[in-house]
Amino acid sequence: MLHARTLKDGATTAVLAALLGAAVAATADAQAKPKPCRVLCAPTVDFMPGVIRTHLFGGPTVTDLSTGKESRLPSSSSLELIVAVASRTAIPRLSAFGSVQWFPNAGAQRNPFTLYTANQLGESVKADAPTVTLGGSLALLTAPEAHGWGDLALNVGSLFSQAARPNDEKAYTHKLDLDLIGHLDVFAAAPAHAYLQRVSLYGILDYVATGLPRSGDEVPLGRRFDSSARPTALIVGLALPVTPPVP
């Protein structure tokens, strides 16, 4: 009789343990998966100071029409400040984003983000007006899939930045901007709920697909592009969250 009761108690304990384990697993899974949104989730805001390196794979060749001298435009590094807003959508892995970029030290004849400006201005003139990007982001690798160490996404955006072609009729023009952006959570081992744990190192491989000089363009007047612009750039910096984490 005692043996039967022991078996019964053991079975009950096993069932309760199984139910408890299932509940814990379900809770953990619910915490790992973001809550669904009807259209757009609550937005997040990040401040992202960094450094941009232009002409990542070598610059285009140009000719000075006054002297006939040919040269290749060099790569350059500049300080870049970004404020980015992102919001998950009801479609899995798809987010909407917007960002404002500012280059405090940009010169008029080689703005870092457009790479070139169509204005015929002196080299001492600053071209530090901000640029704006709006678009969508597709998550290729999420933080849970990377075990909390980072993420990777493809961004397709509409960049509004300084005119860069000689036939542009506006000071700002639309350009198709493609980004491969990744975050590395280098402070993931920081204490739980600490702000530092949310800070990450980011890298952006940026490609401005349209709106830049082509072979034969004079940008600015007196300098002819012998080959089309080479718009691939690399941006590296820190992503500093401004808003609290979105569940």
DSSP letters along 166-193, please?
TT--SSEEEEEEEEEEEEE-TTTTSPTT
Residues 13 and 122 in one domain: no
For residue 171, the model assigns a pLDDT of 87
Query: For residue range 56-110, what is the model confidence (pLDDT) as tens digits?
Result: 999 999 999 999 999 999 999 999 999 999 999 999 999 999 999 998 887 766 6
Residues 102, 85 within the same domain: yes
Residue 146 resides in a domain: yes
Three-class secondary structure of residue 20 per DSSP: helix
Same domain, 29 and 76: no
List, for residues 158-203, the tens digit of each pLDDT value: 999 989 999 998 989 999 999 999 999 999 888 988 999 999 999 9
- CA-to-CA separations, 115 to 27, 106, 127, 180, 186, in angstroms, rounded: 49, 10, 11, 19, 31
Domains: count for the chain: 2
How confident is residue 125, by pLDDT bands cut at 50, 70 and 90?
A: low
247 lies in some domain: no
pLDDT in tens, 12-62: 444 334 434 443 343 334 344 556 788 899 999 999 999 999 999 999 999
Residues 29 and 47 both lie in one domain: no
Residue 167 lies in a domain: yes
Task: State the chain's mean pLDDT as an integer.
Answer: 84
Do 183 and 225 belong together in one domain?
A: yes
Residues 50 and 122 in one domain: yes
Cα–Cα distance for residue pair 71/89, rounded to 1 Å: 47
Phi, psi values for residue 150, rounded to 5°: 160, -170
Q: Is residue 1 part of a domain?
A: yes
Rounded to the nearest 10 degrees, how much is the dihedral formed by the CA atoms of 87, 90, 94, 99? -20
Q: For residue 220, is the peptide bond before it cis, meaning its omega torsion is within 30 degrees of 0? A: yes
Is 133 part of a structural domain of the chain?
A: yes
Are 29 and 40 part of one and the same domain?
A: no
Same domain, 156 and 40: yes
> Do both 193 and 128 map to the same domain?
yes
Is residue 125 one of the residues assigned to a domain? yes
Total-model pTM = 0.80
Q: Could you give phi then psi for residue 155, rounded to 5 degrees? A: -105, 135
Q: Long-range contact list for 14-17, CB < 8 A, 24+ apart?
A: none
Its domain, for residue 181, covers 35-241
Q: 8 and 95: one domain?
A: no
| 174 and 222 housed in the same domain | yes
Task: Tell me whether residue 246 is in a domain.
Answer: no
Q: Judge if 49 and 19 occupy the same domain.
A: no
CA distances from 13 to 10, 21, 22 (A): 5, 12, 14
Integer Cα distance of 29 and 106 in angstroms:
47
